[in-house]
Structure 1
């Protein structure tokens, strides 16, 4: 609430306004006329409630374009894996709101363009998914957070009051036994001799495509049956066990490895760049008569097979390299039979048969 204090030094009278609103820093100003004091108090209090008022004068000096440009220049280089994607996302916001002063950017304005973003189309007329909209908003939100905490351009981020779309539970597409057999046969018959071992390795380990194709021999221990991933999506090293057919195929592959590169799967043109298996994989899918399936779904296959063979969500998360269980909850229904057996076993031990 705003309070106005009258001050007189004998010759001049001044009116000092103080605005206190829960959750915001106190705002003060002094005026010579009571009318001006009241107008400022009303305008400022309304602006604070609507998220338009910022204590720092920097918010009235810089535009969103300034914020995006500085963030891309100073912050994004420290995030090499996200650089291209987040630069694209932030550039979209810059094109829409770059002309606006930071002091004029309100939650309502961001909501307007959030909804425009959600209704927009991407490749081949496909609407953006809620997950895509969330990524765009997250990129802008972090830029605002840096501007608040480190640059002191803003007192608070307008993103705090903007609701993110609810993401879907996530795609779960895995191959049944017949589909898996057909795909593996097609991969084995492929003109690309590396397609089959790579698909086997993907199915047995749950590695992402970039992790698998970026493997180097110094990170593979064939004697003890494991490999180390140093470059992962969550930034942490991960130990991947090797066993069965995947290990056998890697042992065979090691006998004919190229000595002029450290990569397990070097490209045919550039030996220090991983091979591109996109076309051979698409051809194998077509040959096998499998639709609605992508390379990343091989990772879903691994998780699904683990769940159906009694692995806990924590174990699946560890294999896939997820820090939390949130990403693997989509596979929970596949382990319902295992959970039922665990509950039945517990009841049998406690209450006995009957």
Structure 2
């Protein structure tokens, strides 16, 4: 940033007062400079030249977003940097990775956000994921923005950048929908498990039980390998989840016993717990078996609103809600479910009116 001050001095040869103009250039991250000029025009020209030199110097020596992300992912978590997903950061690297992080503007981020809104949503399948015809949801877009914001918070903390381009409403979040709200009742859970045990795929019962007792995502359970299962500690260690981080799935007694029985008959050529019988080296696709299970349980398209119907993610939603209703707090539920932040978990905390009444009766009635 440049400034000019005018001073009057006496010329030694003529003895007359003359004006002198001192130009200053101060830019954060650079040494301050100044020069005395004979005219204001000369001072302004000197400031412009020095500003241009500083911009060029910053462009040459500046750090790219990709290199900051590389350091960020290996750095200890701190306030403002805990939430991020590897797949989200891959998107930002692809779109802005070569840009100098200090030059990334609100305009750049909003342009990338517009592209993100047209990005195809992916669905997990055995062995990976496939693109669908649907676009990513507003909630997903906001998660991508949150990952980038964590990187920029890290850059601010380490004085890599002077200002956060997403703060102060400069990059607005999208309005999120309510999402799926279906929670299984105890009766519905029982019917699903009963029909799962009768499935033509003999592992469906174990698969559904694991989903209901671990609050895990479909892909996390399906891709489970025997080397991940620790019977002594009653956990299954997932090396990499949707968030790109490892976590442990708790194995309750009934699941642990079922896994023990399944291990006795596992194929020699497969390490997958839920292997494909026709090709044990691959994971089984449970879609057809899961659909038939819901049909037999009377839970296939049983409600008009598609967002209120039973899908596999309903088991995760149900598990988290049951923990909260059972007395677990958000932090405790997050340990089981693997949610990275409590803010993300709050969307599951939707107690029914009857629960609210019971809580009020217990804590606010003033009895006793």
Contact 2:64–2:100 under 8 Å retained in 1: no
1:334 aligns with 351
1:321 aligns with 338
Q: TM-score, normalised by structure 2?
A: 0.65
Cα displacement string for residues 283-320 of structure 1 (whole angstroms, at most 9, x for unaligned residues):
54456552444323321121223334444434322322
Contact 1:190–1:280 under 8 Å retained in 2: yes
Q: CA deviation at 1:69?
A: 6.5
SS at match of 2:145: helix
Q: Which one has the bigger helix percentage? A: 1
Q: CA deviation at 1:337?
A: 4.8
1:203 aligns with 212
1:231 aligns with 239
Deviates more, 1:2-11 or 1:230-239: 2-11
Q: Does 1:257 align with 2:266?
A: yes
CA–CA distance in 2 between the matches of 1:172 and 1:147? 37
CA–CA distance in 2 between the matches of 1:31 and 1:175? 78
CA–CA distance in 2 between the matches of 1:330 and 1:230? 24
CA–CA distance in 2 between the matches of 1:135 and 1:310? 28
1:35 aligns with 41
Q: CA deviation at 1:242?
A: 0.9
CA–CA distance in 2 between the matches of 1:243 and 1:59? 60
Contact 1:55–1:155 under 8 Å retained in 2: no
**RMSD, aligned CA:** 4.9
Q: Which one has the bigger strand percentage? A: 2
What are the residue-to-residue correspondences of 1:160-171 with 2, within 5 Å? 160=167, 162-166=170-174, 168=176, 171=180
CA–CA distance in 2 between the matches of 1:274 and 1:227? 20
2:224 aligns with 215
2:165 aligns with 158
What are the residue-to-residue correspondences of 1:119-198 with 2, within 5 Å? 120=118, 122=120, 126-138=134-146, 140-141=148-149, 156-160=163-167, 162-166=170-174, 168=176, 171-177=180-186, 179-198=188-207
Q: CA deviation at 1:249?
A: 2.7
The gaps in structure 2 that reach 5 residues or longer are 14-18, 76-83, 122-131
Q: Number of matched residues? A: 330
SS at match of 1:191: coil
Q: CA deviation at 1:192?
A: 1.9
Q: 1:325 to 1:104 in 2, by over 3 A?
A: closer
